[in-house]
Chain A
Amino acid sequence: MKSYKKGPHPRARGPDIRGAGNIMHRFANPNRFMRLSQRAVPWFAALTVVLLAAGLYLALVASPADYQQGETVRIMYVHVPSAWMAMFCYSGMAAAAAVGMIWKHPLADLAAKSTAPIGACFTFLALLTGSLWGKPMWGAWWVWDARLTSVLVLFFLYLGYIALNNAFDDPARGAKASSILVLVGFVNVPIIKFSVDWWNTLHQPASIARVEGPAIHASMLWPLLVMAAGFTTYYLWVLLVRMRGEIVAGKIRALRLRQVHGL
């Protein structure tokens, strides 16, 4: 009984890596995480509500119509932040998966697992709003070009990760197998980013993150940035809620195991 309560987390054993590992293990304590996240959640919730309320007003009312695209340009304010978050979430998942594999950080695997459904939702939204924007502007719901296809692959990578992660009875084995998938699939992220430069496409090239500065007027840039900030705080909010859920689920699993073994 003692061994269940005290001592390092079972996954925290293994090679003792000093230095970076030490600093990270200070934040690896799930109880500390539960305390910190409980305080952070209301702040992320409030920030999300304020930013998205302001962002939606700016996007739908205050910003001008485009001189070429007319009112359809407003789709950009949900499409572009969704696409950014789709890549951001996947990069975060890959980083968390790497930390989980190398340092056996007990929260890293939970962060990757909790990010996956959020990233999948953002990817779905990027594809769907892109389709709704493509029909009036390109005359097609879908084209099999490099940008659209690589984002579709990203969506399937998310679904594959979720399926593989849930395919094992032992969560640690599921985390390991799906971590490998997410790291191999990371090659897709630079392909998405540079697809508009490498191949001919209907999709427009990057207009914000450019060496020359954003190729977009401030009246449209600000609504876009406020929406993107709101999507980011939304992600952090839901991420913390889901990670808390995973930790509680782990405690339930441990308690049931103890009961089954009559401890």
Chain B
Amino acid sequence: MDSFSSFLNMGGHGGFVWPSFGITVLVLVVLLVTSLRSLKARESTLAKLRGGATETGRGEATREA
């Protein structure tokens, strides 16, 4: 346990080392997740637009949009 607390302490510089790694991981994960979610949302929008055009005919699809 002592070695773990000294690992967290980082020779007294834990307050600089851990935020560096933490914020890096956070920023990269947020960018990845927003990119994936935006792709998914656009894909489902496209599928809806295409589905609407073939199932209900142009008139319906136009009103939907």
On A, residues with C-beta under 8 Å from B are: 56, 59-61, 65, 70-72, 74-75, 78-79, 82, 117-118, 121, 124-125, 128-129, 132-133, 135-136, 234, 237-238, 241-242, 244-245, 248-249, 251-252, 255-256, 259-260, 262
Contact = CB atoms under 8 A, between A and B. Distances in A.
Contact of A136 (B13, B39, B50): B13
Interface residues of B, number: 32
B62 interface: yes
Contacts, number: 99
A245 B21 contact: no
Given A234-B28, A242-B35, A71 B42 contact: no
Main secondary structure of the interface of B (DSSP, over half): helix
B64 to A, nearest CB: 8
A255 B50 CA distance: 8
A167 B58 CA distance: 31
Interface of B: 7, 10-14, 16-17, 19-21, 23-24, 27-28, 31-32, 35-36, 38-39, 42-43, 45-46, 49-50, 53, 58, 61-62, 65
Given A256-B65, A260-B65, A244 B46 contact: no
Given A65-B11, A132-B16, A248 B24 contact: no
A47 to B, nearest CB: 14
Nearest to A117: B31
A117 to B, nearest CB: 7
A235 to B, nearest CB: 10
Given A78-B21, A133-B20, A245 B39 contact: yes
A60 B7 CA distance: 9
B11 A70 contact: yes
A181 B20 CA distance: 31
Contact of B39 (A61, A125, A244, A260): A244
A238 B35 contact: yes
Contact of B21 (A56, A237, A255, A260): A56
